[in-house]
């Protein structure tokens, strides 16, 4: 469905015509550009847009099917950029991703959004409040969309860092070192970091191309104003910070999982030592009682009046000796 359609000239908005076939012609006639926003369009709806703006069939297929990785494709009549906005749900501590596809061409911008996260109304409103930036043409829309997505990455990275600190405090708690469900929480957190990385990692190369810092691939990109490179470099710097943060989160959560498993192993060893110590203490009186329970006729001190209290005293003395020995070695 078409969420919004407007023509922009010198940074000012004018509502687009009802018939899409007139939108591009009208925008070019006034020296401006048309920006059409769609949300999860059907194939029939998008065919009208694709035909009007001569969008490449491969890019159209990607925009309809979604589930693409971040990438930048250059075609004869347009530029195609895929972004994956990230949404963090604090109640369930989960990260989910949507998709934004941007078609950029001579006098037009078409944005296609899939998923509920990262609506573009905020981006459009912010751009319309900055007519100087919006007056730079379609490139300003591409920059604003990329900047909005990457800035939200920073917010999600901060939320994940807070969750990781809480998880770390739980693992290294002096009380019990984490519950039995801690390992599953750590593993689930690692999955969220992996989902986040799938959105941020592949975006580095497209932004490097747009900012002109991509080495051999960092030449001029068609349909993008070269004067916008400093803006894209700023977005790329923010993305670099995000990717460094994601790398740090991934390493830390792996270290925390290793520390948790090591703590579990140490606790199990302590438990086994305690069990072994108590078993050894129980074995001594059992052995003595077993010997005196064999009912032999000729046994040492068998008919002595003080045999029973003497054997009990011997058992108690041996128990005390074993207890103090195990206690001094830290087994109890």
Please state, in angstroms and rounded to a whole number, the distance separating the CA atoms of residues 250 and 196: 10
What CATH number did the domain enclosing 303 receive? 1.20.58.340
Report how far apart the first and last C-alpha atoms of the chain are (Å, whole number). 70
- Max mean pLDDT range (8-12, 46-50, 144-148, 297-301): 144-148
Looking at the DSSP assignment, which residues form a beta bridge with residue 74? 79
Q: Give residue 103's pLDDT.
A: 95
Residue 322 above 80 pLDDT?
Answer: no
Residues 188 and 253 in one domain: yes
**How many domains, the chain?**
2
Q: How far is CA 248 from CA 86, 104, 224, 232, in A?
A: 18, 35, 33, 24
Residues 201 and 83 in one domain: yes
Q: What pTM, to 2 d.p., does this model score?
A: 0.77
Q: Give residue 180's pLDDT.
A: 62
Tokens 């520390």 sit at which residue? 259
Tokens 């070269």 sit at which residue? 226
Band (260; pLDDT cuts 50, 70, 90): confident
Residues 303 and 192 in one domain: no
What CATH number did the domain enclosing 213 receive? 3.30.460.20
Taking the CB of residue 179, how many other CB atoms lie within 10 A of it? 11
Tokens 């300003």 sit at which residue? 140
Q: Give residue 66's pLDDT.
A: 81
Tokens 């606790």 sit at which residue? 267
User: 108-114 and 99-105: which strand pairing?
Assistant: antiparallel
Nearest Cα to 212, choosing from 190, 185, 232, 194?
Answer: 232
Encoded tokens for 163: 């969750």
For residue range 211-220, list pLDDT tens digits in order.
887 654 556 7
Residue 89 above 70 pLDDT?
Answer: yes
| pLDDT > 70 fraction of the chain, expressed in percent and rounded | 86
Residue 306 above 70 pLDDT?
Answer: no
Angle at 126 between CA 148 and CA 5, to 5 degrees: 95
For residue range 133-184, list pLDDT tens digits in order.
888 889 999 999 999 999 999 999 999 998 888 888 888 776 655 566 777 8
Residues 257 and 291 in one domain: no
Please state, in angstroms and rounded to a whole number, the distance separating the CA atoms of residues 217 and 57: 24
Mean pLDDT within 290-312: 65
Residues 310 and 219 in one domain: no
Nearest Cα to 98, choosing from 80, 76, 120, 130?
Answer: 120
User: 33-39 and 108-114: which strand pairing?
Assistant: parallel
Tell me the residue range of the domain where 273 lies.
268-328
Decide: helix, strand or coil at residue 262.
helix
Residues 50 and 87 in one domain: yes
Please state, in angstroms and rounded to a whole number, the distance separating the CA atoms of residues 219 and 44: 36
The DSSP H or E segment spanning 272 is: helix 229-292
**Residues 2 and 42 sit within 8 Å (Cβ to Cβ):** no
Q: pLDDT averaged over the chain?
A: 83
Residues 67 and 114 in one domain: yes
């Amino acid at each position: 469905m078409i969420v919004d359609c407007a023509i922009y000239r010198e940074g000012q908005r004018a509502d687009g015509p009802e018939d899409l076939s007139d939108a591009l012609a009208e925008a070019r006639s006034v020296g401006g550009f048309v920006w059409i926003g769609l949300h999860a369009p059907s194939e029939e709806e998008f065919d009208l847009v694709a035909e009007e703006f001569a969008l490449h069939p491969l890019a159209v297929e990607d925009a309809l099917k979604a589930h693409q990785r971040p990438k930048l494709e250059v075609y004869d009549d347009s530029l195609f950029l895929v972004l994956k906005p990230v949404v963090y749900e604090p109640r369930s501590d989960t990260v989910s991703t949507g998709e934004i596809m941007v078609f950029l061409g001579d006098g037009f911008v078409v944005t296609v959004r899939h998923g509920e996260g990262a609506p573009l109304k905020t981006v459009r409103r912010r751009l319309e409040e900055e007519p100087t930036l919006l007056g730079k043409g379609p490139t300003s829309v591409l920059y604003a969309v990329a900047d909005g997505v990457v800035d939200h990455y920073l917010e999600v990275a901060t939320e994940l860092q807070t969750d990781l600190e809480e998880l770390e405090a739980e693992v290294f708690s002096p009380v019990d070192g984490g519950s039995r469900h801690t390992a599953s929480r750590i593993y689930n957190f690692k999955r969220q970091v992996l989902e986040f990385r799938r959105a941020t990692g592949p975006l580095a190369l497209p932004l490097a191309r747009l900012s002109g810092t991509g080495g051999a691939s960092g030449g001029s990109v068609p349909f993008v104003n070269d004067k916008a490179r400093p803006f894209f470099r700023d977005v790329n710097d923010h993305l670099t910070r995000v990717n460094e943060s994601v790398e740090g989160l991934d390493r830390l959560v792996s270290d925390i999982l290793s520390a948790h498993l090591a703590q579990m192993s140490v606790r199990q060893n302590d438990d086994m030592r305690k069990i072994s110590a108590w078993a050894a203490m129980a074995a001594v009186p059992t052995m003595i009682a077993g010997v005196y329970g064999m009912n032999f006729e000729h046994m040492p001190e068998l008919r002595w009046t003080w045999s029973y209290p003497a054997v009990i005293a011997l058992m108690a003395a041996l128990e005390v000796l074993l207890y103090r020995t195990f206690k001094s070695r830290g087994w109890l």
